[in-house]
């Protein structure tokens, strides 16, 4: 399996970005509503790329959860992460979707203690939203 993803701009007929991963890329999906790409590498991290930048987020679940596949919700504000024995739905807050890529070109690594790159908030509908600190 490949560890490198080449992203081309068909309008300019040129290379836009090259994403190099340590582990083989298992799945890549375009956001159905914006210029955003999600990918997974059978680790516990979700990787996202847009023309403005990129980020990675460690999925905060109990036990071992390795993402093997993913699927966008049709409106693009949530993504289903599929592991071998578990599934997880990530709801993307508007600020995380827009601000994180625009203001942080380096990777965001959210750790278990929450000290880097993410802030978790609970909304009234019971969803867990993640946004940049």
CATH code of the domain made up of 25-131:
2.20.25
CB atoms within 10 A of CB 24: 11
pTM over 0.75: no
Residue 37 pairs in a beta bridge with: 30, 49
Q: Two tokens at 86?
A: 């578990």
Residue found by looking up tokens 């601000």 in the block: 99
Cβ contacts of residue 122 below 8 Å, gap of 6+? Answer: 128, 129
Going from N- to C-terminal start, the domains of the chain cover 25-131
Mean pLDDT, the chain, whole residue set? 77
pLDDT in tens, the chain (133 residues): 799 999 999 999 999 999 999 999 999 999 999 999 999 999 999 999 999 999 999 998 888 899 999 999 999 999 999 999 999 999 987 654 444 443 333 333 333 333 333 333 333 334 444 443 3
């Amino acid at each position: 399996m490949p560890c490198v993803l080449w992203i081309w701009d068909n309008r300019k007929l040129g290379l836009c970005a090259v994403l190099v991963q340590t582990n083989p890329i298992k799945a890549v999906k375009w956001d159905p509503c914006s210029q955003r790409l999600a990918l997974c590498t059978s680790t516990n991290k979700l990787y996202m790329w847009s023309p403005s930048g990129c980020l990675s987020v460690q999925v905060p679940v109990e036990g071992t959860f390795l993402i093997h596949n993913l699927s966008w919700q049709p409106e693009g504000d949530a993504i289903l992460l599929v592991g071998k024995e578990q599934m997880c739905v990530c709801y993307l807050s508007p600020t995380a979707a827009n601000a994180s890529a625009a203001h942080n070109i380096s990777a965001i690594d959210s750790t278990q203690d929450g000290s880097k790159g993410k802030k978790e908030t609970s909304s009234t509908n019971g969803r867990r939203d993640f946004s940049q600190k």
